[in-house]
């Protein structure tokens, strides 16, 4: 414990003594953490946009006029048991007719034709939403199968619009998958670039102390006794940078939330506040690890001489 206290104290002394060099290292860690926070916010915007797209995609089953409601509800319960299905909403034939009239209220020939028929020519529908866009084909295959859950439904189903919309669904699925892969690769590139720059900055701060490291090794100091203060110094860089970057992004996200919500599709300020603890934990851990690991690797070069 005594040795640990000395190492921690030496780390704070190194940080204070560094002056402008320590400030430069903190600034570089801030830049790295700013990249990480920006990536977190951009991913939130990306996934929010993808969710909007996904929620607009669905498959509707159209039933024959006069189809038994009990059979329709049985099919609905069967669909809800599938792991791919997120929701199944039922619309009665009367509601379908009402919605049709509202949609075509300015189309006088169509409304006149409906009035001329005198009865409801439209059947009930089931609207299906899956958890992933790629899963709609599984639902279509399920409806065509001889599964006991769908037996007896073929005589009441008129058609589903999956095959009408198949091309659009497949394109949207490809766009979402591509966006996720691109987001991951871009994130990886930016994080690696920022880490390399930070490592080089901290290595320069330790280079100033290379003679001190040599003297400590000559008098018999252990590797941990030499390395420890610099690792503590790196952790201090991380803690200070984490606090500053979180305070910096507070007004930035507030401005974006007021002015860019319609454009981004997500209120970044609300997202930042609601996920503040998670973001704080990620940034603090990233900052400390970045400073400690960079210091550990940078000192190793001089310990091995």
Q: pLDDT tens for residues 142-158?
A: 777 655 455 556 678 88
What pLDDT digit, counting tens, does each position of 239-289 carry? 998 999 999 999 999 998 888 777 777 888 899 999 999 999 989 998 888
Residue 187 has pLDDT above 60, yes or no: yes
Residue 232 has pLDDT above 80, yes or no: yes
Per CATH, the number for 65-155 is 3.30.70
Q: Which residue has the higher pLDDT, 244 or 165?
A: 244
Percent of the chain exceeding pLDDT 70 equals 92
Residue 103 has pLDDT above 60, yes or no: yes
Q: What's the rounded mean pLDDT across residues 192-203?
A: 75
Residue 176 has pLDDT above 60, yes or no: yes
Average pLDDT, the chain: 80
Residue 21 has pLDDT above 50, yes or no: yes
- Residues 189 and 107: their CA atoms lie apart, in Å, by 55
Q: Which residue has the higher pLDDT, 133 or 246?
A: 246
Q: What local confidence, expressed as pLDDT, does residue 67 receive?
A: 83
- Residues 296 and 258: their CA atoms lie apart, in Å, by 43
Q: What local confidence, expressed as pLDDT, does residue 248 receive?
A: 92
Question: In the numeric block, which tokens belong to residue 204?
Answer: 């320069």
Q: Which residue has the higher pLDDT, 236 or 17?
A: 236
Contact at 8 Å (CB) between 299 and 291?
A: no
Q: Give the CA distances from residue 1 to residues 4, 216, 227, in Å, rounded to whole numbers and listed in that order.
A: 5, 20, 16
Which residues, at least 6 apart from 75, have a Cβ–Cβ distance to it below 8 Å? 61, 126, 149, 150, 153, 156
Q: What's the rounded mean pLDDT across residues 111-117?
A: 77
Confidence label for 196 from pLDDT (cuts 50, 70 and 90): confident
Q: Which residue has the higher pLDDT, 60 or 111?
A: 60
- Residues 155 and 3: their CA atoms lie apart, in Å, by 82
Contact at 8 Å (CB) between 30 and 286?
A: no
Q: What local confidence, expressed as pLDDT, does residue 151 receive?
A: 55
Q: What local confidence, expressed as pLDDT, does residue 146 receive?
A: 58
Q: Would you list the domain boundaries of the chain?
A: 2-53+174-303, 65-155
Q: What local confidence, expressed as pLDDT, does residue 136 receive?
A: 83
């Amino acid at each position: 414990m005594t040795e640990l206290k000395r190492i921690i104290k030496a780390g704070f002394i190194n940080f204070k003594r560094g002056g402008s060099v320590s400030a430069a290292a903190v600034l570089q860690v801030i830049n790295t953490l700013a990249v990480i926070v920006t990536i977190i916010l951009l991913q939130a915007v990306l996934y929010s946009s993808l969710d909007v797209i996904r929620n607009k995609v669905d498959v509707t089953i159209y039933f024959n006029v006069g189809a038994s409601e009990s059979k329709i509800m049985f099919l609905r319960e069967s669909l809800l048991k599938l792991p791919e299905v997120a929701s199944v909403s039922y619309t009665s034939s009367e509601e379908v007719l009402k919605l049709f009239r509202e949609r075509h209220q300015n189309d006088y020939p169509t409304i006149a034709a409906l009035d001329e028929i005198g009865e409801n020519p439209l059947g009930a529908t089931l609207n299906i939403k899956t958890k992933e866009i790629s899963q709609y084909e599984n639902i279509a295959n399920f409806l065509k199968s001889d599964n006991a859950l769908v037996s007896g439904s073929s005589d009441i189903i008129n058609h589903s619009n999956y095959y009408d919309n198949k091309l659009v669904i497949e394109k949207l699925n490809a766009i979402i998958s591509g966006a996720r892969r691109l987001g991951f690769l871009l994130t990886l590139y930016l994080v690696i670039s920022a880490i390399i720059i930070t490592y080089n900055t901290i290595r320069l701060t330790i280079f100033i102390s290379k003679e001190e490291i040599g003297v400590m090794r000559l008098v018999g100091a252990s590797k941990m006794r030499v390395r420890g203060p610099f690792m503590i110094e790196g952790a201090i860089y991380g803690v200070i940078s984490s606090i500053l970057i979180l305070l910096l992004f507070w007004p930035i996200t507030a401005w974006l939330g007021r002015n860019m919500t319609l454009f981004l599709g997500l209120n970044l300020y609300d997202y930042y506040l609601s996920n503040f603890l998670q973001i704080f934990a990620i940034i603090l851990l990233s900052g400390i690890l970045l400073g400690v690991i960079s210091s550990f690797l940078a000192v190793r070069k001089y310990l091995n001489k």
